[in-house]
Amino acid sequence: MTLWTPDPTFYPSPRDAADAPAERLAYVAAFDRAAERPDALAVIDTDPSSPGYGTVAGWTDLPNTGDELHHFGWNACSSALCPNAPHPHVERRYLVVPGLRSSRIHIYDTKDRISPELVKVIEPEALARRAGYSRPHTVHCGPEGLYVSAIGGADGKDGPGGIAVLDHTSFEVLGQWELDRGPQYLAYDFWWHINQDVLISSEWGTPSMVEDGVVGELLLGRKYGHKLHFWDLRKRTHVQEVDFGDEYQMPLELRPAHDPTRLYGFVGVVTSVEDLSASVWLWFHENGSWQVRKVISIPARPTPADRLPPVLKPFGAVPPLVTDIALSVDDQRLYVSCWGIGEIKQYDVSDPYKPVELASLRAGGIAQEAPHPAQPALPLRGGPQMVEVSRDGRRVYITNSLYGSWDDQFFPDGVGAWMAKIDTDSFTFDTRFFPHGDAFRGLRPHQVRLQGGDASSDSYCYP
C-alpha cells in the first residue's frame, strides 16, 4: 500500500523551516533586455562542499523571446499544511515563472533534474480572458490554489491590476480572485496573514506607467502608487486602504511576519519626491484598524552632476532606491537593498517598531561601482536588488538587475550581470561565490528562489 506523506520541504512552523537542511541549488530568473534571445532559468550550485560551488550547474532557455522574467514562485509550499485549506499531498515541484512583458506564465518541473523542464505555457490570452489581467508579477502558493498578481488589466496597458487564481494541479487559470476590489486600482505585490484571513496588496503603476522606465512627470506629479490595501482573504473583498501620503512613491515588496500569531509586516518604499530618501514602513493592526508607521529612513547621497545619469542630474544626488526587502524566517533580521547607492543593510527587527541597523555592505551603485572582494579590480554596475534569505537565516543571496528599462535609465553604460552571497553571521561577502559576467550568457539576473523554499516563499499556520 502506498503511504502518502507530506512533502518534506513543507514545514508546519517557521521554527521547523529554520531547522531544515540547507539549500543546494538556487534558481535564478535571467532575461535578455534586447528581447533577441530567450530568457532563461539559471541554476546555481550553492553546496559549499561541491566542486562546482558558486557556478552555473543547470540552464533552461524559455521557448520564446521578449518575456522579461521577473518574480516567480513555487507551485506549493508550507501553506499546504494549513487546516483551513489543506493540500498535504501536493509537491514543491514546479516553478511558476511569469513574463512581466509578455504576460505568459511558464510552468517548469524541477523534480529529479538540475535544469528545469518546461511542461506548460499559459498564454496571455487565457490570463486576460479568464481573469481579466495582464503583466503577471508575483506568485504565491496559498489557500485553494496558486495566486498570481498582475499589474495590468486585460488590455495590457492600463488597470486595474489585481490577482488571478490558478489551479494547483492543472495550472489552468480559474479566474479573478477579487469579488469586490473597492477603490483598489494599482497593483504590485501581495501576501497575507493566513490564519487571520487577511491579504495585503501594494501599488506600483500600470504597464504604461512603468514599462518604459520612470516617467518624471508621473513621479513628480505623485501618480505612482502610495497605498496599501487590506482584504478579507476568505471573502475576497476589500476592507481598508491606508495611504502613506503621496510624497512616498511606490510601496513595493511586502514581508509579513512569519510567526502566524503576529499581525505586522514590513513594506519598502522606493522614494520620497520631497528629498529622494527611501524608507521602510511597518503595518500593524491597532484600535480596530490597519495602520502604517515609517520605521526606517535612508537619505539620498549628494553627488556631483557630472557623475550622475541624465535622469538624476537635475537633483544632484543619488537616491537609495529601496527596491527589495527580505525578512528572516525567525522574524529577527530585515535585509534592505538600496539599489541606487549600491548597498545592502541588515537590521535587527526583534522589536519591529524600532529597527536597529547592524551592518551594511557595498557592491555596485550609481557613481560608485563598488567591487566584490572576490575581484576587487572589477567595478560593478547595478547594485544589490533582489534579496533572498535562506530558511536558517545564515545566508543572503543578491542579484543586481531591477527591470530592463529602469536599469537603462539609472545605469546607461550598462548594468552588467552578477550575483553574490553574504554570510550573515559575519555579514561579509563569500569570496567563493560570485557568478558574474559570462556566467549568465549575456542575460541579466533578477530574482532568486532557493531549493526547498526560502524566507519569501512560504506561509506557516503554526507558531
Instruction: Note the pLDDT tens digit of each residue in 393-426.
Output: 999 999 999 999 999 999 999 999 999 999 999 9
pLDDT of residue 87: 78
327 to 23, 226, 255, 330, 394: CA distances (angstroms): 17, 21, 6, 8, 12
Whether 388 shows a pLDDT value over 50: the answer reads: yes
- Answer yes or no: is 439 within a domain: yes
Report the pLDDT value the prediction gives residue 1, as an integer from 0 to 100: 43
Say what percent of the chain tops pLDDT 70: 99
Task: Give the pLDDT mean for 292-319.
Answer: 97
Q: How far apart are the first and last CA of the chain?
A: 33
Residue 304, class by beta-carbon neighbours within 10 Å (0-12 exposed, 13-18 middle, 19+ buried)?
exposed
pLDDT at 6: 87
Question: Counting Cβ atoms within 10 Å, is residue 425 exposed (0-12), middle (13-18) or buried (19+)?
Answer: exposed
**CA 192 – CA 186 distance, rounded (Å):** 18
Q: What is the pLDDT of residue 84?
A: 80
- Whether residue 397 contacts residue 26, with contact meaning beta carbons closer than 8 Å, is answered with yes
Residue 230 lies in a domain: yes
Q: How far is the C-alpha of 195 from the C-alpha of 218, rounded, in Å?
A: 38
380 bridge partner residues: none
Percent of the chain past pLDDT 90, that is, above it, reads 96
Cβ–Cβ < 8 Å for 449, 390: no
At residue 116, the pLDDT reads 98
CA 64 from chain centre, in angstroms, equals: 23
Contacts of 410 (CB under 8 A, 6+ apart): 309, 311, 312, 321, 339, 340, 366, 402
Rounded mean pLDDT, 445-449: 98
**Mode of pairing for the β-strands spanning 387-389 and 105-109:** unpaired
Structure confidence by residue, pLDDT tens digits, 115-129: 999 999 999 999 999
Residue 397: the pLDDT is 98
User: Per-residue pLDDT tens for 212-267?
Assistant: 999 999 999 999 999 999 999 999 999 999 999 999 999 999 999 999 999 999 99
Residue 56 lies in a domain: yes
* Arithmetic mean of pLDDT over the chain: 97
- C-alpha grid cell, residue 381: 554596475
Look at residue 260 and tell me if it is in a domain: yes
What is the average per-residue pLDDT within 49-75? 98
The model's pLDDT over 131-166, given as tens digits with 9 standing for 90+, comes to 999 999 999 998 889 999 999 999 999 999 999 999
Give the total number of structural domains in the chain: 1
The CATH number covering residue 408 comes to 2.130.10.10
Q: Is residue 211 part of a domain?
A: yes
Tell me whether residue 459 is in a domain.
Answer: no
Structural domain range at position 193 = 14-450
Residue 143 and residue 166: Cα distance in Å, rounded?
11
Return the higher-pLDDT residue of 333 and 88: 333
pLDDT at 356 over 90: yes
Q: Is residue 457 part of a domain?
A: no
Evaluate whether residue 354 is within a structural domain: yes
Distance CA 349, CA 334 (A): 6
Residue 168 confidence (pLDDT): 87
Residue 299 neighbours by CB under 8 Å, 6+ apart: 275, 277, 320
What pLDDT is attached to residue 86? Answer: 73
pLDDT value at position 144?
82
Mean pLDDT of all residues in 53-78: 97
